[in-house]
Amino acid sequence: MVSANQTRISKTKLANLIEIIEQQMTPAQIAEAQKRARECVAREYKGC
pLDDT confidence of residue 9: 81
| Max CA pair span of the chain | 39
Q: Which of 1, 30, 8 is CA-nearest to residue 18?
A: 30
pLDDT in tens, 1-48: 455 555 678 889 999 998 999 999 999 999 999 999 999 999 999 999
pLDDT confidence of residue 8: 79
pLDDT confidence of residue 20: 95
Question: Whole-structure pTM over 0.75, yes or no?
Answer: no
Q: CB 48: neighbour CB atoms within 10 A?
A: 10
- Name, in order, each residue with C-beta under 8 angstroms of 33's C-beta and a sequence gap of 6 or more: 25
pLDDT confidence of residue 21: 93
